[in-house]
């Protein structure tokens, strides 16, 4: 399967712990997006990269969140000092410029 992959698929953590998620986009895609989806809501934009440059961050992305895309390939999203409100599905998508965004399966985070 050459689609977008995300790891892990599920993560349970205790409040206050740090977590890191990984996204591997489709290999030739230069754009990578992170979204967050909570129960009953559609996905909400968090941040996006064009190649290795992070070009926009949503106000949803507090100082506890950081994202990287070294070398313009895979990306990581780290949440420090997790809070119960961080519990959500974290989705990654990739695309070529203005074309269709392809989504990964998501990482479901549960903060206890």
- 14 or 53: CB nearest other proteins: 53
Nearer to other proteins, 15 or 60 (CB): 60
- DSSP element (H, E) containing 56: strand 53-57
Say how many Å lie between the first and final Cα of the chain, rounded: 33
Between residues 47 and 82, which has the closer beta carbon with respect to other proteins? 47
Q: How far apart are CA 31 and CA 97, in angstroms?
A: 6
Q: Supply the minimum distance, in Å, between the C-beta of residue 65 and other proteins.
A: 16
Least separation in angstroms between residue 72's CB and other proteins is 16
């Amino acid at each position: 399967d050459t689609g977008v992959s995300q790891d892990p698929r599920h993560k349970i953590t205790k409040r206050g712990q740090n977590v890191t998620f990984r996204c591997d986009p489709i290999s030739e895609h230069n754009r990578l997006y992170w979204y967050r989806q909570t129960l009953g809501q559609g996905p909400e934009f968090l941040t996006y990269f064009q190649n290795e440059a992070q070009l926009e961050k949503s106000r949803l992305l507090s100082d506890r969140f950081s994202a990287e895309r070294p070398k313009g390939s895979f990306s990581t999203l780290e949440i420090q000092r997790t809070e119960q409100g961080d519990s959500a599905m974290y989705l990654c998508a990739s695309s070529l410029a203005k074309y269709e965004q392809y989504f990964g399966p998501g990482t479901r985070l549960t903060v206890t």
